[in-house]
Structure 1
Amino acid sequence: MTSFELTRLLPSDHFARALREDVRRGLTAPAKSLPPKWFYDKRGSELFEDITRLPEYYPTRAERAILTARADEIAAATKARTLVELGSGSSEKTRLLLDALGALGTLREYVPVDVSESALREAGRRLAEDYPGLAVHGVLNDFTASLGLPGEVPAPRLVAFLGGTLGNLNPAERSAFLTALRAELSPGDSLLLGTDLVKDPAVLVAAYDDSAGVTAEFDKNLLNVLNRELDAGFDPEAFEHVALWNAEQEWIEMRLRSVRAQRVPVPGVELTVEFAEGEELRTEISAKFRREGVAAELATAGFALRHWWTDPEGRFGLSLAEPVD
């Protein structure tokens, strides 16, 4: 019988406090911006699931293709007894790794780490039904603030950070995150990292500005979150969704562009925010990578790249690295 337990590492007021801090800082800066984690309320999560099925949005399919082809190889290379997944969500893609490690006979425990308690509980319930004998230890935590990996789990550990989420961090944030992760790992542990790759800008922009307008609705949903949580007065129709390729930084930027001059009250943080016509609020960066860049960032943080795989079209990269001194 599968066991499921949940450890909460977030105080009850964590999200309310963090949202207020991000909004005060981001909406009073000369170049307005907010971090993309605030997209993901219930409606935002549903919209993102819709995005992953769009014809223009290739990353999810490309990463799944790599995992399907390489899961057995990953299992053999790591012989992991514990699989830790950062930002686990529904844990659906992870089943490929669970199956491969289970078939190898090494897997004892799965540790999904996510900011959503409902997602952790739902995934835990389904895994309990589908993987008899697997211990599932959910950790409610914001891993971008502190990792909080459980120490008393069977070694070696395989930490999976999939979906290209690393690209939502700027270079300094990526360095800090990878360095902190390296500090929590031991010899024999491994890191499996998903990274979207640099490609034709037209393909990239289409993936973040689909013809059906789903990504535009997803982007504007951030304003609905602010209206609900901070009693703000944003009119989503007063903003248009923009996706563009920043060639110098090699990342996609999503922005909300004000279609008119406007003043928006945000009582929850005692602000009134002014937008000029055409002024933009950056809501996401999504960095794209090259193999040599991934290897260099890993090396700086104390990892050695041991395996590198891509899908047949070379759109997405999956790397397996290990901590080194």
Structure 2
Amino acid sequence: MKNLFMQAMLLASPNEQRLFPTAFLFNDVGLKIWSEIIESSDYTQTAEEIELLREYGASIAGKIKPGSSILDIGAGDVRKVLPLLDAFEAAKTPVQYFAVDLSEEALKRAMSFLADRYTYVKYFGLWGTFVDAMEWSRSIYGPLCILSLGSFFGNDKFHDAVARLSSWREFMRPDDRMLLGLDGRQDEAHLWNAYHQSNNLFERFLRNGLEYSNTVLGCRWYYEDDWIVGGVLQKEPLMHRFQIMARKAVVCEELNLHFEAGEFLDCFEVFKYTPVAMKAQFDAAGFHVECMWTSPASPNSFHDYLVSFRST
């Protein structure tokens, strides 16, 4: 993670805006705050995706080959994926479920939660990064389904999102699939309210991650009083990012890190792509959309896409 920080914060070109790595936000404390966020009434994305999986879990499970290994990228507490795993169990479809997460404690809780729940679903915890998950995927025999719930893939500037998809495309075989969940709601007010709640949960979430980076890096570059948290909306594509602004000049000689007073550091970007825009991403990355399901909460909200690589 230290290398991740260095690449994002220190090696940015003079004209490039620095982006704080999201991985630092999801430590054990961050995951607990995140659980509060996704259960709040203002943040509807998780609830809409769970409702989608409850409504269409059987249909989705029917598209995944028996004996598949399901690699869940950023599994968290696994409650979100339960309706899909329940659908496999109800259909007596044997699958192996691999929960991947950066938090060892979160994985332990997830495995304990799943204990003795299934007969046909075998479950395992994989503690590591997304890069580790990519390497693990090489050793999986039989059909593979890469699962990304909650907008991991597709959540970036177009060309960067295509590059991330393409990097996984290189590991996939003809029988492999990806199931990707993405929020496509085009509502600026709804988006702003989701990330700027009255209880300041997101500010706590961000500041915890910034403080945690001090621990990982072994030196203190972040002091809470030096930074102000704000946010900004952007159109076409619709997106929201948090920005923390330096109240004064911030210098950490140990990391060769310098911020001028008034300089911004971007944090936690979220992009809201419509199905048409996502199809363009998939096409550019060499994928074919086999099926799409939409949250029953709204026809323009959350979508799950089942994709395979397009043969040439």
**TM over 0.5: same fold?**
yes
Aligned partner of 1:275 in structure 2 is 260
Q: Please, what TM-score do these two structures have when normalized by structure 1?
A: 0.85
The answer to whether 1:51 aligns with 2:34 is no
The counterpart of 2:229, out of the listed 232, 241, 248, is: 241
One-letter amino acid matched to 1:160? L
TM-aligned CA deviation for residue 32 of structure 1: 3.1
Root-mean-square deviation (CA), in Å?
A: 2.4
Q: CA 1:33 to 1:159, structure 2 compared with 1: closer, same or farther past 3 Å?
A: closer
Structure 2 vs 1, CA of residues 233 and 149 (structure 1 numbering), >3 Å: closer, same or farther?
closer
Residue in structure 1 matching 2:282, options 298, 303, 310: 298
Which secondary structure does the structure 2 equivalent of 1:276 belong to? coil
- Taking the TM superposition and a 5 Å limit, the aligned residue runs for 1:117-132 are 117-132=104-119
**Shift in Å, 1:282:** 0.4
Between 132-141 and 177-186, report the one with greater CA deviation. 132-141
Unaligned runs of 5+ in 1: 1-14
Q: Which of 159, 169, 175 is matched with 1:172 structurally? A: 159
- Counterpart for residue 96 of structure 1: 83
Amino acid at match of 1:297: Q
Question: What residue ranges of structure 2 are gaps of 5+ in the alignment?
Answer: none
- Give the total of aligned pairs: 307
Structure 1 position 42 matched with structure 2 position 28: yes
Do structure 1's residue 77 and structure 2's residue 63 form an aligned pair? yes
- In structure 2, relative to structure 1, the CA distance for the partners of 1:292 and 1:249 (3 Å cut) is closer
Task: Report the CA distance shift for 1:118/1:57 in structure 2 as closer, same or farther (over 3 A).
Answer: same
Q: Deviations over 1:287-322 (max 9, x none)?
A: 111111111211222221122222232221111122
Following superposition of structure 1 onto structure 2, how do residues 284-295 of structure 1 map, counting pairs within 5 Å? Answer: 284-295=268-279
SS in 2 for 1:184: coil
Which residue number in structure 1 is paired with residue 309 of structure 2? 323
Deviations 1:225-279 (A, max 9, x none): 2333332243323322212211144211111123x32334363x2x2523313x2
Q: Normalized against structure 2, the TM-score is what?
A: 0.88
Check if 1:225 corresponds to 2:203.
Answer: no
Deviation of 1:71 after TM superposition, in Å, equals 0.3
Give me the whole-angstrom Cα distance separating, in 2, the residues matched to 1:284 and 1:33. 8
Once residues 133 and 118 of structure 2 are traced to their aligned partners in structure 1, the CA distance between those partners, rounded to angstroms, is 29
Identity of aligned residues (%): 23
Deviation for aligned residue 1:151:
4.6
Once residues 52 and 266 of structure 1 are traced to their aligned partners in structure 2, the CA distance between those partners, rounded to angstroms, is 38
Residue 245 of structure 2 is matched in structure 1 by: 257
Q: 1:154-196: per-residue Cα shift (whole Å, max 9, x none)?
A: 6333221111122543333321221122222222322111111
Residue aligning to 1:19? 5
Q: 1:144 to 1:242 in 2, by over 3 A?
A: farther
